[in-house]
């Protein structure tokens, strides 16, 4: 498997060329390995273009944190940061 930063570069390339499904697949790979990767979550937020997309993403974030992130983020600081970025995107629509 490629390094996470290489996968993230690929995801941003696909985002830049509006190939969001390809970017999503790569971001899912990254988040499977590193569910607290803030850069990957930020990229995921970028590919959401509707309120509905963002609400689905919010549920995905909640699910990931409740099932795959335990004591490593005991203050939920990264989760709060990602959700704040998501709220900013929602407010900008």
Q: What is the pLDDT of residues 46-92, one digit of tens each?
A: 999 999 999 999 999 999 988 888 777 766 888 999 999 999 999 99
| pTM of the predicted protein model | 0.87
Residues 6 or more apart from 42 whose CB is under 8 A from it? 82, 85
What sections of 17-69 are H helices per DSSP?
Answer: 20-33, 38-47, 51-68
Q: What is the pLDDT of residues 5-50, one digit of tens each?
A: 999 999 999 999 999 999 999 999 999 999 999 999 999 999 999 9
Other C-beta atoms lying within 10 Å of the C-beta of residue 79: 20
Question: Domain 4-92's class?
Answer: mainly alpha
Q: Domain spans of the chain?
A: 4-92
């Amino acid at each position: 498997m490629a390094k996470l930063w290489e996968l993230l570069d690929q995801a941003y390339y696909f985002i830049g060329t509006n190939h969001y499904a390809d970017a999503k697949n790569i971001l899912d790979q990254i988040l499977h390995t590193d569910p607290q990767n803030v850069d990957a979550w930020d990229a995921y937020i970028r590919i959401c273009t509707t309120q509905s997309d963002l609400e689905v993403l919010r549920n995905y974030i909640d699910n990931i944190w409740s099932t795959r992130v335990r004591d490593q983020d005991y203050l939920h600081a990264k989760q709060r940061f990602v959700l704040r970025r998501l709220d900013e995107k929602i407010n900008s629509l």
